[in-house]
Chains A and B, each alone.
Chain A
């Protein structure tokens, strides 16, 4: 039974009136990915100055997200441009990570070893997820829905304003699922899939991606398959987060050397990347499709 509040929320999303909530979500995801990149780059000794940029940008993006929650003007200016810069930084990071693997002994001749031991290849792109959310948020209407439409907007922008961008979010969610599935695959390969559970993201991520890509073609897939796959991925992310946290605590020293064990143990926030893909999938399933 849907309560009246649920119906109201769903309608808001359908109509693209969720700028404030999405801005807040952007801030929250940005904090988490900022923490992740901070300690991962700490492991890498911040050996290049550019490694500070995602840490700084995720901080700025969180602030911009909170500002956008309070102010429409902030949403359309600060949040939008911080998101664009962060997305560019994600692309730059991807380039540096590929080059980092190339520069390890043996380079791409030993792709598995060097991807496992080198910089995580797709992590920078996944870092861009929260920036993508921020960018989308900057084009939405506020929940109150009293935004004056003073100028003729580009049609793509207009679609987003009206919540008609299901396909776009589905594509992004699908790509994000594939990337985080691959990250899970080689990270767990490093551990020789010691626990059967380590196979779950490797299986579920392609399922979610398939549901996402099916949703681009089919409205029915978007309203049935997609939310189911998204729920599965989110549940798996929660389970993964639990296991990674437990793995950290089970290391010698446990909670006594918490920071050390977070840095050297299983990457504690990594499972949430699959959860982010699941969340994008949910969002897509609630949106409307573009005008034909």
Chain B
């Protein structure tokens, strides 16, 4: 799917114990063997249909040109890298975005510092290419992985060097928010991402029953944490160490001393 296939190990998350990159897997994450789609008999027909189509029939290209499609595919592969996934299990992020822009489905509101979403995705290409040219003297798609990271980091940080006229008509931070939201909506709306994060999918008609103490439902899989480090070639590897708070039970143990009165 993405140009950034798994041939380059320096783009993959690293096992901190061995210092070696993890091999790509069908299902990254902490819930080995959990398949949300296996729960589909417990959903109603309409929901099951919507969710299944996301896997079997991602929308065809109708809005973007072939170049734009490839461009955003590359950008999105930096926003949510999928180098930990085998190529056939990478989640297509551009088809839902393309379908959204084709139908002109928006959030229903627009910031006054932002153009229409369709427009933003057109001039965004120009802005990113200008930034690439200013920093590394080439088009974004022709740059190396690390250079592309630096270009996107400049926009993330709100400090682009090039195309002030574009950024005058479009807020840098709102633009970043827009593409980040679209990337996340596509990724975390897909059942394979649900497998990764252990999300059980729609809770109707069967409801959740174990509502306290973070106990798993009978059909859920217990979390199995492992340590990992960001890929060596990544420029944004700041991770807040929150692992010790990863279950509600430990969170509670962490919080309860604070509750006690002196």
Contacts and interface: CB of A to CB of B under 8 A. Distances in A.
B207 A113 contact: yes
A106 interface: yes
B213 A194 contact: yes
A199 B173 CA distance: 55
Interface residues of B, number: 13
A101 to B, nearest CB: 12
B42 A190 contact: no
B61 to A, nearest CB: 38
B247 to A, nearest CB: 13
A34 B241 CA distance: 51
B207 A117 contact: yes
B42 A192 contact: no
Contacts of B215: 191-192, 194
B17 interface: no
Contacts of A112: 209, 218
B164 to A, nearest CB: 53
A110 interface: yes
Contacts of B218: 112, 189
Interface string B1-45: 000000000000000000000000000000000000000001000
Given A110-B42, A112-B218, A191 B205 contact: no
Contacts of A116: 209
Contacts of B212: 191
A47 B42 CA distance: 28
Contacts of A117: 207, 209
A194 B213 CA distance: 9
Contacts of A194: 213, 215
B204 interface: yes
Contacts of B210: 190-192
Contacts of B206: 105-106, 110, 113
A113 B205 CA distance: 10
Given A110-B42, A112-B218, A190 B209 contact: yes
Contacts of A104: 207
Given A192-B216, A194-B215, A113 B204 contact: no
6 contacts: A105-B204, A106-B205, A117-B209, A190-B210, A192-B210, A194-B213
Interface of B: 42, 204-207, 209-210, 212-213, 215-216, 218, 259
Cβ-closest 8 pairs across A and B:
A105-B205, A106-B205, A192-B215, A116-B209, A110-B206, A113-B209, A117-B209, A190-B209
